[in-house]
Chains A and B, each alone.
Chain A
């Protein structure tokens, strides 16, 4: 009933002490004496409980490994004696400190940064407790009673068993994806199986038949050399045809459709995710996922899976043939299989490490080159050419050494392993030769065939040994892909979305709290009302939370506490499509897609006519510079096209927002990289457009906001001042100071000019 993820045995330990009403219980990772260990910290109405101990892996025969908790001490502290609790972060650890009014703070517990989120959950309850004490029936009322709300799902830590189960289900899911390409793959499979069978057959024909039939006096086939050669050519032709068919199936059918399909699937699930996911993971890592992981999965389907099956089948086939040819020799040889397997696997791992090191050194060298080339101006300015050459030669020397080492290893290890197979062949020839001389039915042809098959045995073993590590990599990729597919976006449409095709534009924020990472609120308890048709300017220092506020209004993120309503409807209930269509954002980071200028402006409304596009560009004061471009509105911009300056890019993105014609326009430092003259021009155009439209504008330059109806001054996530320009000047507060500072600066510029 309490928390789904509190282990039974831990709960039992609390219960046997008569503690039944835990509101929260979290796992921390350091003991009070500062060593690593497990500390369960529980909290109920009156006490904070500390249960410390160690986790021990218990291995029992026949059962999966289990972790068991071994208790070392138990302690409890009355909450009312604690006072105000807070988390202090240091460089490598953090601690929970409590501070009672009028007393010095004291340390309650230490923990590593990883446990900070868990401890913060606790903090909320300690905070709630205090709130209830001072004002009965406060905002914490909903959480009262014996049991708190269920905590979020358990963190990343998982037991061995779960991991294994996960691996298994991943493989199952991968095979499930196989269903989509079943027809293609089965056809491919059949072809390569037949081709492998022919591969198995050809030594039999080529050797056994030659020695034991064609060259054997008294055999019906004796002397039929011509026929034999024709037969050989036939076999070769068929297997060549099969190989060609195999290539065609693979290259033309499977490869394109599987990769295309997988990449589209992953890309589509990426688009589904909310902004939070994108800020958590680096963009580069995301791209890797789309490309590399799809590629890995593709190898799984098209390379690993079929060839594993074929190699295993070949291995079995050869083994059977060997036993049929001569059971005694076969038994002798088969002992070698596991030995070879482990040797090959060891070698694969060893050389992979060597290659990886070579790769690391190489990329260090390459990045030094690019660093120096990009920073050439600085290198020259400080006359450091020689030092850079020395630095490069050190990197390059190290790379040379490791490459040489790798070459040497390859040159010695592989012949040595080859020698092993030679020894095996010698042994077979020795024993087999003796058998032939003893004349117990073993023929020369059979011996020759035997050695041929023996030599064919090594490559599947090598392949399988190599694959066992490769397969792990594919499973990893698949897990990552499934992780993306399975991620439930935090910002999602409510089950019964309210359709608001045309908004009025009243925005209200009520007691909004927001944090990107737990424990570090960016917005604390902020309330703000913007009436339809008004223009509100948001002013504040960098990092005060201005951009976060507008991101919340556009619902790129969801608030942690409090509500945001538009036209009186909670934005969580508004259909996302309607919301986004009615809110236009011009943000400080401008992203232009690859395409023409016109395409970029039209991104918001693809059906807009050419006149509308040009009108929007005019309104954004972009028309003139666009005409100066070599191809006018058809000039290609973006990743592979013409470079635009910062101000020009901003103007294109403003044109994009104007064309969208939203009821709510958000300008986040939209004119920051323009000169004041251009800015003034755009403002005039914008203020004409602002009629009947709600505008929220963030600006550093206060002159940008001179037309604002109201100004909100934000400091450290709180709104400290709100009012018209005149009111705020009269208040002589933060705004006044900022304004005077900037006025001073412009006065000085005016004097200088």
Chain B
């Protein structure tokens, strides 16, 4: 019975076979996919577990309406050149600046105004409701913290404990 349940659940995932799937870059910088005899001129990639399994469960979708064509369970069995292609595309989609230091964080007009240093240079932004927008990803697993500004831009602190003390003090009270 248990076995049977497992199988029906497995059947829900439409997994793509790494042996038959090929991705090719289009001149415009997108990806197209061929799976056996099916060709998809443009596909969108999407991570199911973007932080903890960035190289697994990659969904391949229609860029227009988001319907899923299938899922790559793991990048590992794919050839290197294919992996590189997918990684490049994913890093563009999931691009997120990394915060290295927090210069200042002050509440003003109901917004928290940040001045931070990132791997892409200094940056200032405003945040609404800091207790909701300064968040551990999963405090039980690691020390990654995500900041979301009022425009929806997201910034990652790879290890909140590794920040200098002054930076850490500025966000400490909001980390639950």
- Contact residue among B28, B126, B152 (Cβ-Cβ distance under 8 Å from A106): B28
**Which one of B95, B121, B169 contacts A90 once the chains associate, using CB atoms below 8 Å?**
B95
Contact of B173 among A93, A103, A353 (CB under 8 A): A353
Interface string of A87-114 (1 = CB under 8 A from B): 0001111000101000111110000111
**Which residues from B are CB-within-8-Å of A99?**
28
* A36: B residues at CB distance < 8 A: 97, 118, 120-123
A354-362, A411-419, A436-444: which lies at the B interface?
A354-362
Which of A34, A90, A357 is within 8 Å of B93, CB to CB?
Answer: A90
Interface residue? A309 (CB, 8 A): no
Q: In the complex the two chains form, is B176's CB within 8 Å of A360's CB?
A: yes
Nearest A residue to B92 via CB reads: A90
- Is B120's CB under 8 angstroms from A35's CB? yes
Q: Is the CB of B29 within 8 A of A116?
A: no
Report the nearest B residue to A353, measured CB to CB.
Answer: B173
Count of interface residues, chain B, beta-carbon cutoff 8 Å: 35
CB neighbours of A30 from chain B (8 A): 120
Q: Does A37 contact B (CB under 8 A)?
A: yes
Q: Verify if B53 is at the interface (C-beta below 8 Å from A).
A: no
- Residues of A contacting B38 with CB < 8 Å? none
Minimal Cβ-Cβ distance residue in A for B122: A36
Within 8 Å of chain A (Cβ to Cβ): is B3? no
**Interface pair A112/B153, CB less than 8 Å apart:** yes
Within 8 A of B (CB), among A344-366: 353, 356-357, 360-361, 364
Q: A476 near B107 (CB under 8 angstroms)?
A: yes
Query: Which chain B residue has the least Cβ–Cβ distance from A99?
Result: B28
Contacts A36-B121, A93-B95 given; indicate if A114 touches B29 (C-beta within 8 A).
Answer: no
Which positions 50-96 of chain B face chain A at CB distance < 8 Å?
50, 92-96
Given A36-B122, A36-B123, CB of A91 within 8 Å of CB of B97: no
- Which B116-154 residues have C-beta < 8 A from chain A? 118, 120-123, 125-126, 131, 149-154
- Total contacts A to B, CB within 8 angstroms? 79
Indicate if A16 sits at the interface (CB-CB under 8 A).
no
Question: Is B174 on the interface with A (CB-CB < 8 A)?
Answer: yes
| Pick from A105, A156, A364: contact of B29, CB under 8 Å | A105
Query: Shortest CB–CB separation between residue B87 and chain A, in angstroms?
Result: 15
Chain A interface extent, by class: 20 to 34
Closest beta carbon of chain A to B8's beta carbon, Å: 20
Q: Is the CB of B154 within 8 A of A91?
A: yes
Q: Are B96 and A105 in contact (CB under 8 A)?
A: no
Chain B residue with the shortest CB-CB distance to A98: B28
Whole-angstrom distance between the alpha carbons of A357 and B173 in the complex? 5
**Does any Cβ of A come within 8 Å of B30's Cβ?**
yes
What separation, in Å, do the CA atoms of A410 and B109 have in the docked complex? 31
A483 at the interface (CB under 8 A from B): yes
Identity of the chain B residue whose Cβ is nearest the Cβ of A354 in the assembled complex? B173
Is A480 among interface residues, defined by CB-CB distance under 8 A?
A: yes
With contact pairs A91-B93, A476-B110 given, residues A104 and B118 touching in the complex (Cβ less than 8 Å): no
Chain A positions within 8 Å of B152 at CB level: 113
In-complex Cβ contact of A114 among B122, B131, B151 (8 A): B151
The chain B residue sitting closest to A398, CB to CB, is B176
Contact A34 B125 (CB under 8 A): no
Contact A92 B176 (CB under 8 A): no
Chain B's nearest CB lies how many Å from the CB of A352?
9
B96 to chain A: which residues have CB within 8 Å?
A: 91-92
Is the CB of A479 closer than 8 A to any CB of chain B? yes
| Of the residues A92, A356, A357, A480, contact of B109 by C-beta under 8 Å | A480
Contact yes or no, A92 B94, CB < 8 A: yes
Q: Does A749 contact B (CB under 8 A)?
A: no
Is the CB of B108 closer than 8 A to any CB of chain A? yes
- Bound CA span A97–B108, Å: 35
With a cutoff of 8 Å between Cβ atoms, the chain A residues found around residue B110 in the complex are 285, 476, 480
Q: Is the CB of B28 within 8 A of A105?
A: yes
Minimal beta-carbon separation of B105 from chain A (angstroms): 12
Is the CB–CB distance between B173 and A106 below 8 Å? Answer: no
Say yes or no: is B10 at the interface (Cβ < 8 Å to chain A). no
Please indicate the chain A residues that have their CB under 8 angstroms from the CB of B93 in the complex: 90-91
CB 8 Å contact bits of B5-44 with A (1 = contact, 0 = none): 0000000000000000000001111100000000000000
Q: Which of the residues B28, B131, B153 comes within 8 Å of A113, measured between beta carbons?
A: B153
A357 to B131, CA, bound (A): 11
Contact in complex: A105, B30 (CB < 8 Å): yes
Which residue of A is nearest B113, CB measured?
A: A163
In the bound assembly, the distance between CA atoms of A107 and B107 in angstroms comes to 37
Residue in chain A with minimal CB distance to B29 = A107
Residues from chain B with a CB closer than 8 A to the CB of A476 are 107-110
Query: Which residue of B has the minimal Cβ distance to A367?
Result: B176
Least Cβ distance of B121 to chain A in Å? 4
Residues 304-353 of A contacting B (Cβ, < 8 Å): 353
- The reply to whether A113 and B121 contact each other, CB–CB distance below 8 Å, is no
**Alpha-carbon distance A641/B123, docked complex (angstroms):** 51
Collect the chain A residues with CB atoms within 8 Å of residue B50's CB.
Answer: 91
Which listed residue (A90, A112, A364) contacts B176, Cβ 8 A?
A364
Q: Which residues in B have their C-beta under 8 angstroms from that of A37?
A: 121
Q: Are A104 and B28 within 8 A (Cβ)? A: yes
Interface positions, chain A 34-91, Cβ under 8 Å from B, are: 34-37, 54, 90-91
- Considering the complex, which residues of chain B in the window 156-176 have a beta carbon less than 8 Å from any beta carbon of chain A? 169, 172-174, 176
Chain A 467-502, CB-CB to B under 8 Å as 1, else 0, gives 000000000100110010000000000000000000
- Report the bound CA distance from A35 to B92 in whole Å: 13
Q: Of B94, B150, B151, which is in contact with the most chain A CB atoms at under 10 Å from its CB? A: B151
- List residues of chain B with CB within 8 A of the CB of A116: 151
Measured between alpha carbons, how far is A374 from B109 in the docked complex, in Å? 34
Assuming A104-B27, A107-B29, is B173 touching A92 (CB within 8 A)?
A: no
- Contact call A113/B109, Cβ cutoff below 8 A: no
Among A114, A353, A361, A483: residue with most chain B CB under 10 A:
A114
Q: Which of B26, B97, B107, B121 contacts A104 (CB 8 A)?
A: B26
List chain A residues, Cβ under 8 A from B123: 36
B147 to chain A minimum Cβ distance, whole angstroms, is 11
Determine if B153 and A357 form an interchain contact, defined as CB atoms under 8 angstroms apart: no
Q: Are B151 and A112 in contact (CB under 8 A)?
A: yes
What residues of A have a CB within 8 angstroms of the CB of B169 in the complex? 353
* Chain A residues with CB below 8 A from B122, complex form: 36
Report how far A360 CA is from B94 CA in the complex, Å.
30
Instruction: Report whether B121 and A483 are in contact in the complex, using a CB–CB cutoff of 8 Å.
Output: no
Closest residue of chain B to A116 (Cβ to Cβ) is B151
Task: Tell me how far the C-beta of A103 lies from the nearest C-beta in chain B, rounded to whole angstroms.
Answer: 8
Docked pose: A254 CA to B123 CA in angstroms: 46
- Residue-by-residue, is A275-290 near B (CB-CB < 8 Å gives 1, otherwise 0)? 0000000000100000
CB-defined contacts of B120 to chain A, threshold 8 Å: 30, 34-36
Q: Mark A13-42, 1 if CB is under 8 A from B, else 0.
A: 000000000000000001000111100000
Per-position 1/0 for A211-226, Cβ under 8 A of B? 0000000000000000
Q: Given the interface contacts A35-B121, A106-B28, A106-B29, does A361 sit within 8 Å of B92 by beta carbon?
A: no
Q: Which 6 residue pairs are nearest across A and B when measured between Cβ atoms?
A: A104-B28, A114-B151, A104-B27, A105-B28, A36-B121, A35-B120
Query: Can you list 29 contacts pairing A with B, beta carbon distance less than 8 Å?
Result: A30-B120, A36-B97, A36-B121, A37-B121, A54-B121, A91-B50, A91-B154, A92-B94, A92-B97, A92-B153, A92-B154, A93-B95, A103-B28, A104-B30, A105-B30, A106-B28, A106-B29, A107-B29, A112-B153, A156-B126, A285-B110, A353-B172, A356-B173, A357-B172, A360-B173, A364-B176, A476-B109, A476-B110, A483-B109
Q: A92-B153, A285-B110, A480-B110 are in contact. List 15 more A-B contacts (CB 8 A).
A: A34-B120, A35-B121, A54-B121, A91-B96, A105-B28, A106-B29, A112-B151, A114-B125, A114-B149, A114-B151, A156-B126, A353-B172, A360-B131, A360-B173, A476-B108
* Interface residues in chain B, defined as those with a beta carbon under 8 Å from any beta carbon in chain A: 26-30, 50, 92-97, 107-110, 118, 120-123, 125-126, 131, 149-154, 169, 172-174, 176
A residues apposed to B, CB below 8 Å: 30, 34-37, 54, 90-93, 97, 99, 103-107, 112-114, 116, 156, 285, 353, 356-357, 360-361, 364, 476, 479-480, 483
